[in-house]
Amino acid sequence: MKQKFLLISLVLFAFFMAFLVPVEPTTPWESIGGCGAGGSGGGSGDGIKWIGQGVSGGVLNAEVFVKKSVGQNFSSFSFSPRFSVKPFWATEIGLSLPFMSHQGEVQYRSNQVPVDRTTGGFGDISFDVSQTIGSGGAASLSLALSIPTGQYDIKRGTDASLEFLPSGFQKGSGLYSLTLGWNYSKDTDKGIWLYSLSYSHPFAMHLWSGENEFNDSYWSSLDTEGDDRFDYRFKYYGENDLGAYTPPSVSGSVAYGYRGQKGYVHSFGFNLSAPLGVAWIASEKVGTYDPRPDPDHKTWSASLVYGLEFSRMDYPFFIALSLPIHDKAGTPNASDEYDESPMREWNLPDFGDVLQQWTLGVGIKGSFF
């Protein structure tokens, strides 16, 4: 309890310090881009990342993002502070602490009645380090590590019939994940072009215990001896201890930041990502180990993003809107729910869902000490 209180106090302190300590901005484009240029640590699934002049000059830099996502039958809210330091002029080290809440409709199978569920709390922490390369500083490499600090076995229901909630309602993934990124910027007369590529690789490990963390609870009735899903120290692939599988993924983005209007930076971006395999979900029944291909698996996802930075001298303010576009999920094989082939098909956009989802992000930056 004391550690949790100290963590929350640190986050609130950094948030208010971002307002109270004015500093002079450095070069106009120093803070543009992903984690390779002091931005949002590589962005996120909605494609929103800070593009603007930013601030620097203090020992500790803070960036606080609040996001609200809404869909046809769900909504979510996240509060994501990121703190970073620069031990060397071309090197930055960052820490992100996500807090979130999810609300929405849950329906495991089409013959079941949908129910409303709500979850919230602390998610998976991530660390990142970036290094500017080249004499001009236009390119950078970044490496981020996410660790499974968020709960991923949240369940609801009666004592006699508990069910795990889908991954979209969980606070964590139950996996570690390494993300390697490359960022490049090119100046123009009144703005800048930004390009980025990244590869993410989830994996699982229990180096000390050497076994699935649920062997003595959910899987106590199973014969797990010698099964590498239940007795292991390291898995090079992204299967968590409930049996859900997250494949590696690649993503890329291109964005343009326009600074022709004094005191503002307008940005327009396009992001595209694709998993390198089919995701699997765990059984919704507590105590049953029965993974199967995710019926909502998307072979590709994209987003269109507009951002506007109010380039204040002391604490710049950023607002962004993201509109997702994704392919239409394949229809599961009615006779074999373990058949991956329908989910592997690349389909046209799900036009029925276009403009039905959006994410609004609001952020503020500060530099202090």
> How does pLDDT run across 188-226, given as a tens digit for each residue?
999 999 999 999 999 999 999 999 999 999 999 999 888
- Over residues 92-102, the mean pLDDT reads 96
pTM for the structure as a whole: 0.85
Predicted pLDDT at 7: 40
What is the number of residues in the chain?
369
Compute the mean pLDDT over every residue in the chain, rounded to the nearest whole number. 86
173 pLDDT exceeds 90?
A: yes
What's the pLDDT tens digit per position in 310-363?
998 889 999 999 999 999 988 888 899 999 999 999 999 999 999 999 999 999
Q: Structural domains in the chain?
A: 2-368 (2.40.160.40)
